[in-house]
Structure 1
Amino acid sequence: MAEVFIVEDNDNVRDALAGYLKLEGIDVREFGSLGPAESELKRRTPDLLVLDVMLPDGDGFLFAKQVKSRKDIPILFLTARDQESDRITGLEIGADDYVVKPFSPREVVLRIRKILARTSSEGDEKGLVFQLEGSRLEIDREKHRISIDGTGLSLTAAEWNILVHLAERQPQVFSRLQLLESCLGSVAEGSERTIDTHIKNLRRKMENEGWIETVRGFGYRFNGESG
């Protein structure tokens, strides 16, 4: 059974979301502030962290950054702040999704389901191997692992989807809009700049921008050679 931590100081919002998740058969632990959540995270690792940005005892962005430095946990932000800069900040930290209040609990549960499905280690597709400038990239879909020269990459669900989508279809070029729809599941989740942020994070983690080429005026394509 999947386990989700919800860190949200609004009791009504937290209880409603937790109720819907429990109906879906998901185990839920609720926290009204960062302190208790941090203590529990030291003892156990959930499958997903639902995190409010503005909390009474701290900033959700800063807390998420600290969590990400220690554990590879998918994160979905809940916030009343709808500026694009806030969305980009969340994605740069490594969030898998960003939901602006007010929202439908059913919609958030659907988004959570998608994240859990993306991060699941289940799958029976064969692995893929690519070469670039003497480096070797391996995609193991069964173990849900991507490595370069034997070193595993810690990717968010969105980063995983984008990289695998591009690699499986190279040398095809994809627009930002196509990647939003195919890899994030909904064009309405954000502007096309969202894809640019994910690509920036991928390039940083892969330590070589050559793996993903920017096709000026259109989008992106994967540059590795099969084998």
Structure 2
Amino acid sequence: MRDRGLIYVADDELEIRELLKRFLEEAGHKVSVFENGELLLEAFERQPADLVILDVMMPGKNGYEICHILRQNSLVPIVFLTAKDNDADFIMGYTSGCDDYFTKPFSPIKLMMRVGAILKRQKLESEQYSRESILKFEDLEMDVLGKKCTILGSNVKLTKTEWDLLLYLLERKEQAVSREELLNSIWGYSVEVETRVTDDTVKRLRKKISQSKSIKIDTVWGFGFRLSKI
């Protein structure tokens, strides 16, 4: 099967590494696995991956630290896969710059769907915006090819998922978008219990665009969200 993307996985459990490698390769991806984050960083410096999956508790630098280092120079999608499942861990994960957070034990099928959705959206973006394309709405500007978001001329640092969600809303500005549509289009699955992930991402986005004087993300109660003028 044709390679769909290059994926790096760092986890200190051999069984998890082998499981992920098998599932991801069966889905058509090229996969490299590492027993710690430092080895992954070394490989990433030589050849950046299209997506990274990180355990949190590993020998040497933990997953949060590896994520933070990657985020210094890359918007590569980062997914945490960890046994740490309390609210403080979720907050730490997203603060360090991850795009999604799966807890062990996990559903390999749901993880594969998430990976597939991320990479599919990356491919669609590159095909849709084959030349320089800048989208604007009031004081928000998104340079799609340059992966740069600004408000009032100031850079807004976004994770890959935050970028995808904001771009999706911007492409449909002033239109209400359902949580189910966002889950299908951005996350690649639609399960009622997972609507929390959209709400959490929107909450973070609102903070990051709060300096805007002219736009906001409205909650359409019982339905979803809308990017609109203040």
Which TM bucket (shorter chain)? Answer: 0.7 to 0.9
Query: Which deviates more from structure 2 when the two are superposed, residues 103-112 or residues 61-70?
Result: 103-112
Separation in 2 of the partners of 1:92 and 1:7?
A: 19
Going from structure 1 to structure 2, the CA distance change for 1:116 and 1:150 (only over 3 Å counts) comes to farther
Flag the 1:66–1:94 CA change in 2: closer, same or farther, 3 A: same
Give the CA deviation at 1:188.
Answer: 4.1
Match of residue 45 from structure 2: 42
d(CA) in 1 for partners of 2:142 and 2:98? 24
Cα distance in 2 between the residues matched to 1:122 and 1:39: 27
SS of equivalent residue, structure 1 residue 42: helix
Structure 1 residues 36 and 212, CA, compared in 2 at 3 Å: closer, same or farther? Answer: same
CA distance in 1, matches of 2:180, 2:87: 17
Given the alignment of the two structures, is residue 123 of structure 1 paired with residue 127 of structure 2, yes or no? Answer: yes
Unaligned runs of 5+ in 2: none
Aligned AA (2:126): E
Instruction: Map residues 25-104 of structure 1 onto 2, 5 A cutoff.
Output: 25-104=28-107
Structure 2 residue aligned with 1:213: 217
1:13 matched residue in structure 2: 16
Task: Report how far residue 178 of structure 1 moved.
Answer: 6.2
Q: Secondary structure at the match of 2:174?
A: coil
Q: CA deviation at 1:83?
A: 2.0
TM-score normalized with structure 1 length: 0.77
Name the amino acid aligned to 1:222.
L
Q: Compute the displacement of 1:67 (Å).
A: 1.6
Cα root mean square deviation, aligned: 3.3
Distance 1:138 1:51 in 2: 28
Q: Distance in 1 between matches of 2:199 and 2:113?
A: 24
Distance 1:189 1:217 in 2: 15
In structure 2, the CA distance between the partners of 1:190 and 1:71, relative to structure 1 (3 Å rule), is farther
Describe the shift of the 1:81–1:152 C-alpha distance in structure 2 as closer, same or farther (beyond 3 A). same
Residue from 137, 141, 144 that aligns with 2:141: 137
Contact 1:170/1:221, CA 8 A, preserved across alignment: yes
Instruction: Return the letter of the residue paired with 1:116.
Output: L
- Displacement, 1:222? 1.4
1:82 to partner: Cα distance: 2.1
Contact 1:211–1:222, Cα closer than 8 Å, also in 2: yes
Structure 2 CA distance for aligned equivalents of residues 131 and 170 of structure 1? 8
Distance 1:107 1:95 in 2: 17
Contact 2:118 2:187 in 1 (8 A): no
Structure 1 distance, partners of 2:226, 2:63, is 33
Counterpart-to-counterpart distance in 2, 1:99 and 1:73: 17
Identity of aligned residues (%): 29
Q: Could you tell me which amino acid in structure 1 is paired with residue 136 of structure 2?
A: F
Does the C-alpha gap of structure 1 residues 89 and 195 become closer, same or farther in structure 2, counting only changes over 3 Å?
Answer: farther
Which ranges in structure 1 are unaligned for 5 or more consecutive residues?
none
Offset of 1:150 from its aligned partner?
7.4
Alignment of 1:148-167 (within 5 A): 148=150, 155-167=158-170
Instruction: Provide closer, same or farther for how the CA distance between residues 192 and 89 of structure 1 changes in structure 2, counting only shifts above 3 A.
Output: farther
Contact preservation (8 Å) 2:206, 2:217: no
Matching residue's letter, 1:161? D
Residues 21 and 175 of structure 1, relative CA distance in 2, 3 Å threshold: closer
Question: How far is the alpha carbon of 1:198 from its aligned partner?
Answer: 2.2
Deviation at 1:117, TM superposition (A): 1.4
How many residues get paired? 221
Higher mean C-alpha deviation, range 148-157 or range 8-17:
148-157
Question: Following TM superposition, by how much is the alpha carbon of 1:76 offset from its aligned partner in structure 2, in angstroms?
Answer: 0.9
